[in-house]
Structure 1
Amino acid sequence: MASHSRTCRDVSPLPTTGPTSRRRRWRRSTSGSRTGRPSSPPPIDAIRAREEVRKALAEGASLMTFAYVPADGKLERVNISMDRGLLRAIDATASARGMTRSAFIAMVARREIAGF
């Protein structure tokens, strides 16, 4: 029985188009500065000024804005005060969803900031 093996030369390079490539370009464009923090997204007027966006909007596309809350990946411990009954309701809801209290509060805060 013949065995088959591949060398690095047999493997095709990563695609230059398609979803994988778009994700890679997006990561590069949002990778931020030398500090490692994500860069801020461009203003909505700058996005509307792009030729491909103007064309898409003219063809019936829509543009939606939302609050941008950058996550820097570092957790910070905070102390907050709230009504005990509200805290119990938060804990019960978070538990029913398989979440921690902190994760639930963060999720609700993000939704509220985004206006949903």
Structure 2
Amino acid sequence: MKRLLALGLIATSLGGCCMVACNSRPANSHIKVNSSIPVDCTFEDKAGLREFYAPGNVDGMPKNAPGTLSCQAAGYKSFQKQVQAVDWSQIDSLNGDPLAIRYFSEITVTMEALGNKPK
């Protein structure tokens, strides 16, 4: 089983696309989600559904837009935001490779306490 897992990781690395951090670098393209409190989030676009914790990063690409970011925490109203292709900015390519263009987006989640002012 360990051998199959190792082979899968090698094949993924050789494919040039990382869905999680590779060699201590972030995934190719991602959304940075800021939050003043820890929240459980999901991001769903044409590539599928990803679950993560914020503050943190989630993989994504503008070509898979639109996407929906949803976050929730106990005692707070749910937060939801649509992420469109225009919400992404191009950043440096990986190792100067013009074919490895990366994109970045940043969203600040403002959670509103149930029955109280926003935090």
TM-score range, shorter chain: under 0.3
Q: TM-score, normalised by structure 2?
A: 0.18
Which one has the bigger helix percentage? Answer: 1
Which one has the bigger strand percentage? Answer: 2
